[in-house]
Amino acid sequence: MPHTAEWKVRLHLFEDEDGTTKAHLVLETGTSALTGHGTAHCHPADANVPEIGDELAAGRAMNDLARQLLNIAERDIEGMGAQRPSRRLTGWPT
């Protein structure tokens, strides 16, 4: 049975008085809403390039939201009686 869904995402970026770029990401599924957050700080010795702060803060907010979605999906899978997927380690074997 085919399934189609449309989820809406709103991303708000702003810089506070301390120069910290903050991202607030809202995902609306139609039945619930999740919020992700991310921040970025410009090192005093670095050139101030607002776009880089926006990219970092937005990317971190998206990572935060992705972790939340994966955790919810894993709990839902367990709720259906299946085992939680095993986490695979990355990198060189020791």
Q: What backbone phi and psi angles, to 5 degrees, belong to 12?
A: -115, 125
User: pLDDT for 45-92, tens place per residue?
Assistant: 988 899 999 999 999 999 999 999 999 999 998 888 876 556 655 555
Whole-prediction pTM: 0.81
Structural domains of the chain sorted by starting position, each given as residue range(s) with its CATH number in brackets = 8-79 (3.30.160.240)
d(CA 56, CA 40): 6
**Looking at residue 83, what is its pLDDT?**
67
Could you tell me if residue 24 is left (phi over 0), alpha (psi between -120 and 50 degrees) or otherwise beta?
beta
